[in-house]
Structure 1
């Protein structure tokens, strides 16, 4: 039976709860913390797919016997790499495809995907385009009987255990990029933020709306262009991880240097598909880990702490690549380590979730981490 995607507004939820309380005033329930402790989520994998100078992100998760698949943007029009990736991942059906805006590097393979997979529903922002790519996408939606929906700002959707809040746009303007559908997604306690190609004005609109923009993982707007990821917006999001999608040696020179520098100044661990290939974030709703197809580092301003033989990895200054040489410090913990700087001693690493006395002893015995040179 086809899974229904339920859009739930907080106002309606509150009214229902109040009504339930009136019907049975003697009913009792366990504390919220106890309920949360009893809920264990299965792992969700977010695939930030390497599609060159385009965007496509695949989300896979489950809830009991129900499995869910969501795709955010569909790569470039002149390629089939998203279709191939979905086949390689053994995807059979897709619950939602959310198109952030109708540019050909975001809506590009939608028609091919609809023709190749069982797609239940397509979301768009309501903006039309005269391009052949857009028209082919609409034809594919109609011919295949795919449900179509234009989500509105403030709507909250529960797709299994994934909660999706629509942040933007409240109305369409003359700027296709600034009309990008923007969403905050929470899986347990871990939050993701997707803004398509939203630029300065869209970021301002989201800031002034008062919506919660805080997220652990930021999908960097507009492929890392300097038209996006403003200082105020970055302050509000306050991410630990940032991921951009860009082509190798692309003509736009994405990501722009000032955006990389801005992210570095906030001690955000940065990944890019042009450097790392496809980036996968896996989370159980409490913690997350990052895996990449290719090794590589985004340069940081901080000095490389591993220089001559006998020198150590200064945890207050080293790059993320160097820090990951330390035992028990993987991609997830390196972001937390960098965010927690400065440290007065190695024992201070206990501030990092998952690092206890035994692991600190392992780090000391490895004898490559230090405070200062």
Structure 2
């Protein structure tokens, strides 16, 4: 509830940092699937004959970020809100004529997942915001908390084993069971089940957290898996794939991004299970339609997933451990970078006390640090 928001704001205050389009014109390609491993492709839309309500799950092309819209029986759920430097999420929601959003889930505080959360709350009537409870000192996160506090939106911290019903859609919380201050690893992870068709979302949770999900007594089997951490090899273990046994895997990544997303070994592992892989970097916005018995996968454009470019470390979203891979950046400087971000460019690192021009020159020469992907 709102009391928890004040706790998070006080955490940020203690750090001294409380400061204040997707083109849908291309006709989609459609795949029809009857929830069996033997999939039959078709250029024609699936015909739903049983009169059941159709749920639509929109994996929005937000570049190097993440955002998914679910529409079911008059309800709307948004999982993550894209990158802080863009407006694709807001634009897409307006294109879909969304007025009210019943639940917005911020899987974790990274700026490429909650980047437009404050704007979403400002532009739409939002019923609840779900977050893990982990905090960030970034302006993006602070703005999101302030937007929640200034609105009538309820604040919820879901935990493993919680179950919610939204119309005929069942939401099971897979993770976290508790928080220890590891935002990415403790991403809010969910299984959404509509009839016989399941969807899994894990934010940026890693293989260790995937194993924790496996170790619960929750059935992880699902037809559609949203690949963790943009298809990075920090997620999507073989054990997790075996537990989920997806028929379709979808990842969100920026076209020609410099992080190596999706990683080739992840794509190979998924394809080796017989699942088909789609990515927003090559397919644009991806929409899955289901009546709870069968489903369609509709893509904005055709494309084959390929590995991203040479990896870089985005100083606006990287973890402390990742930042310490950058030349001259130790634990203390990494903490200062996290506290001061977001940055507009790499050169602003000299604003960190102790990082001078010499260190900046070394960072630029190394070529590992970047802004965006």
Tell me the TM-score normalized by structure 2: 0.68
**Residue 70 of structure 2 aligns with which residue?**
59
From 123, 129, 132, the equivalent of 1:122 is 129
Measure how far apart 1:189 and its partner are. Answer: 0.6
**Residue 78 of structure 1 aligns with which residue?**
85
C-alpha separation in 2, matches of 1:278 and 1:51: 8
| 8 A Cα contact 1:41 1:188, kept in partner | no
| 8 A Cα contact 2:201 2:228, kept in partner | yes
From 103, 107, 111, the equivalent of 1:100 is 107
From 224, 232, 235, the equivalent of 2:239 is 232
Is 1:202–2:209 an aligned residue pair? yes
Measure how far apart 1:75 and its partner are. Answer: 0.2
**Residue 290 of structure 1 aligns with which residue?**
297
| 8 A Cα contact 1:282 1:288, kept in partner | yes
SS in structure 2 at match of 1:282: strand
Q: How does 1:259-270 map to 2 (within 5 A)?
A: 259-270=266-277
**Residue 368 of structure 1 aligns with which residue?**
none
Structure 1 residue ranges (4+ consecutive) displaced by more than 3 angstroms after TM superposition: none
| 8 A Cα contact 1:74 1:110, kept in partner | yes
C-alpha separation in 2, matches of 1:282 and 1:249: 28
- Structure 2: stretches of 5+ with no match in the other structure: 1-49, 308-373
From 149, 152, 161, the equivalent of 2:156 is 149
**Residue 263 of structure 2 aligns with which residue?**
256
C-alpha separation in 2, matches of 1:101 and 1:298: 25
* Per-residue deviation, residues 298-337 of structure 1 (Å, max 9, x unmatched): 379xxxxxxxxxxxxxxxxxxxxxxxxxxxxxxxxxxxxx
From 247, 260, 281, the equivalent of 1:274 is 281
| 8 A Cα contact 2:187 2:202, kept in partner | yes
C-alpha separation in 2, matches of 1:208 and 1:286: 28
C-alpha separation in 2, matches of 1:176 and 1:143: 24
Is 1:138–2:138 an aligned residue pair? no
| 8 A Cα contact 2:134 2:181, kept in partner | no
| 8 A Cα contact 1:222 1:228, kept in partner | yes
C-alpha separation in 2, matches of 1:212 and 1:236: 8
C-alpha separation in 2, matches of 1:174 and 1:124: 13
Measure how far apart 1:109 and its partner are. Answer: 0.3
SS in structure 1 at match of 2:240: helix
Is 1:41–2:48 an aligned residue pair? no
* Per-residue deviation, residues 36-95 of structure 1 (Å, max 9, x unmatched): xxx953000000000011000000111xxxx10000000001111100000011001100
**Residue 4 of structure 2 aligns with which residue?**
none
C-alpha separation in 2, matches of 1:211 and 1:156: 11
**Residue 176 of structure 1 aligns with which residue?**
183
C-alpha separation in 2, matches of 1:214 and 1:161: 18
**Residue 197 of structure 2 aligns with which residue?**
190
Q: How does 1:209-358 map to 2 (within 5 A)?
A: 209-298=216-305
Measure how far apart 1:174 and its partner are. Answer: 4.0
SS in structure 1 at match of 2:185: helix
C-alpha separation in 1, matches of 2:209 and 2:181: 12
Measure how far apart 1:152 and its partner are. Answer: 1.5
Measure how far apart 1:257 and its partner are. Answer: 0.4
Change (3 A) 1:128 1:89: same
| 8 A Cα contact 1:185 1:192, kept in partner | yes
Q: Name the structure, 1 or 2, with higher relative contact order (CA <8 Å, separation 6+).
A: 2
| 8 A Cα contact 2:81 2:106, kept in partner | yes
Q: Which has the larger radius of gyration?
A: 1
After superposing the two structures, state which structure 1 stretch, 71-80 or 290-299, moved more. 290-299
SS in structure 2 at match of 1:179: coil
